[in-house]
């Protein structure tokens, strides 16, 4: 499947039926994200088990790409450790912002997000969920910093 087909299929699917949609209550941390260019608004709540994000949810309103990206992100990072998430974020950021960046094999379905790099105004839509997750992780009162 080429990138365009993957993009269309995965984005449509995750926009229509977002995974892990909602809010955790109680949660260990949360953050709001806003992309003024498009009007996307997301809220991420998460629970931590040590260095691991044991559970998370997102909700909010936005364009298909911002919602699909948040859904894909939640699915991808659930159960992962902070350092694994930071690594994934680095890979996502690279494929979104560098037109010719190779797409790492381990991205799986997240590779679909690379489809937006042909639409620069959409990059902020696709990265909003990741920035919001980072803010929620930074807000978490965890004495151990992994940077
Ligand atoms: Zn958007």
Please report, for the domain that includes residue 88, its CATH number. 3.90.1010.10
pTM, entire model = 0.91
Count the alpha carbons within 13 Å of 66 in the hemisphere toward its beta carbon: 26
C-alpha of residue 31 to centroid of ligand 1, in Å: 18
Residue 144 domain-assigned (yes or no): no
All residue ranges of the chain with pLDDT < 50 are: 145-147
CB 137 within 8 A of CB 45: no
pLDDT, position 142: 53
pLDDT given for residue 2 in this prediction: 77
pLDDT at 1: 61
Contacts of 59 (CB under 8 A, 6+ apart): 21, 22, 23, 42, 43
Q: Is the residue at 142 inside a domain? A: no
pLDDT at 119: 84
146 within some domain: no
Q: How many domains does the chain have?
A: 1
In a domain, 83, yes or no: yes
Query: For residue 147, what pLDDT is reported?
Result: 46
How far does residue 126's CA lie from ligand 1's centre (Å)?
7
Distance between Cα 66 and ligand 1 center (Å): 5
User: Is residue 80 one of the residues assigned to a domain?
Assistant: yes
Instruction: Calculate how far, in angstroms, residue 49's C-alpha sits from the geometric centre of ligand 1.
Output: 31
Q: What residues make up the domain containing 108?
A: 3-137
pLDDT of 134: 96
138: helix, coil or strand? helix
């Amino acid at each position: 499947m080429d990138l365009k087909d993957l993009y269309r299929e995965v984005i449509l699917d995750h926009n229509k039926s977002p995974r892990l949609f909602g809010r955790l209550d109680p949660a260990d941390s949360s953050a709001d994200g806003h992309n003024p260019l498009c009007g996307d608004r997301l809220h991420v709540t998460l629970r931590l088990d040590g260095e691991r994000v044991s559970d998370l949810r997102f909700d909010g309103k936005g364009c298909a790409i911002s919602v699909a990206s948040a859904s894909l992100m939640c699915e991808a990072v659930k159960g992962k450790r902070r350092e694994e998430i930071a690594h994934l974020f680095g890979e996502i950021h690279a494929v979104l912002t560098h037109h010719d960046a190779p797409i790492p094999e381990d991205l799986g379905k997240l590779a679909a997000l690379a489809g937006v790099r042909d639409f620069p105004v959409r990059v902020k839509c696709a990265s909003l969920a990741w920035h919001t997750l980072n803010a929620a992780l930074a807000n978490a009162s965890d004495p151990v910093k992994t940077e």
